[in-house]
Amino acid sequence: MLSSLSRRRVVVLLILTSLLLITLDRRGNNVVIDKSRQAFSVIIRPFDVAAKAVSEPIANAWYGITRYDDVNAANQALRDQIEHQKGAEIEAKTAINIANDLLKLNRLTSVRNIKGVAAQVIGEAPSNFQNTIEVTVGSRDGVAVGMPVTDGAGLIGKVTKVYPDSSVVMLITDPQFTVQGQVLSRIEDEGASSTTSSTTANTALSGRPLDPTTSTSTTTTTTTPSSTTTTIGGDNVTPGQTTTSSSSTTSTTTPGFRVRRETGDISGQGADRPLLFSLIDDTALTNVKVGDIVETAGGTKSLAPQSIPIGTITAVTRRLGSRSPIVEVEPNASLTQLNFVSVVLFVPNQAAI
């Protein structure tokens, strides 16, 4: 059969077959292809285990010989880092508890209310043009395509392929990866005066998500017992949102700040390159600055629930002739040294996947 095919026909046949397969695979939900992948993952698993069993001791011995000093130095640095983080951890736990109490009070959900399943990273992408890892949990553990994956530091990617006992996770640096993110930028509140008579809201919000702009101020109040229901006006709160508040006859407000929430799409640019943050509202860029924390935005069309840390803004570069500057984000997670991760059991909207 082969001898009857000329070289040109071989080329045409290969290209057409490949393009047909790529098209079928990219359209998704192809049962035959999915089953083939699952079957192949089962077949290749013993070979992987054998290859790892043979190679790991050799590699470990080699590293032990050639990098002993580096390992010692890294170990010492890590011990120092742990000592420093112990104090920060206590502060962070307190802050988390306060935040969770506030969220509960306001009937809002937190990423901490969503269960996750722990997994170990068992492989990196063997290709140079793919940023993925393989983890030890699969459909038997409740993992599904599209679920966000985090490590201790923040979002690392999303599940793209699920097998019974393992899954493939596309890292956030992959150019195909996009997630809706938000940055909470702090703006000095010019409208606040040092001494004023005002009505201060002690809020019990009626179950609505947080408004994009939330106003905060430091307030000292002397309260007389009279209760009233107030509709909050102004730019900062959605019209019609009601709160039950204790009105005050005298209050002193010190200058405060507003936290402005900017949303946009965060996408990868390849390994070893920062993430790109495209803000929906370009005019908001005056508020976004280097050092701001970026986290997932949440929402029905988002891949991940709200408030999973993604990274820190490292550069805001304006381009000549273009209104939209480049906002670069350095991921919190160290994507080259992943070992244990957590798959958040949050099933995103199909449109987000």
Write down the least CB distance from residue 175 to another protein, Å: 2
CB-nearer residue toward another protein: 59 or 90: 59
DSSP line for 265-306: EEE--STTS-EEEEES-GGGGGT--TT-EEEE--STT-SS-T
CB-nearer residue toward another protein: 11 or 96: 11
CB-nearer residue toward another protein: 268 or 305: 268
Write down the least CB distance from residue 33 to another protein, Å: 6
Instruction: Tell me how far apart the alpha carbons of residues 241 and 21 are, in angstroms, rounded to a whole number.
Output: 53
Write down the least CB distance from residue 207 to another protein, Å: 40
As a whole number of angstroms, the longest Cα–Cα distance in the chain is: 98
Q: Residue 310 in contact with residue 275, Cβ under 8 Å?
A: yes
Write down the least CB distance from residue 179 to another protein, Å: 15
Write down the least CB distance from residue 147 to another protein, Å: 16
Q: Residue 342 in contact with residue 144, Cβ under 8 Å?
A: no
State the residue for tokens 């011995």.
Answer: 61
For 161, the 3-state DSSP assignment is: strand
Q: Which residues bind another protein (CB under 8 A)?
A: 1-2, 5, 7, 10-11, 14-15, 17-22, 24-26, 33, 36-37, 40-41, 43-44, 47-48, 50-52, 55, 59, 123-130, 132, 160-161, 168, 174-176, 268-272
Chain centroid to Cα 67, Å, comes to 34
Instruction: Tell me how far apart the alpha carbons of residues 307 and 183 are, in angstroms, rounded to a whole number.
Output: 10
CB-nearer residue toward another protein: 59 or 73: 59
Burial 74-95 (b: 16+ CB within 10 A, else e): eeeeeeeeeeeeeeeeeeeeee
CB-nearer residue toward another protein: 4 or 317: 4
CB-nearer residue toward another protein: 126 or 207: 126
Write down the least CB distance from residue 19 to another protein, Å: 7
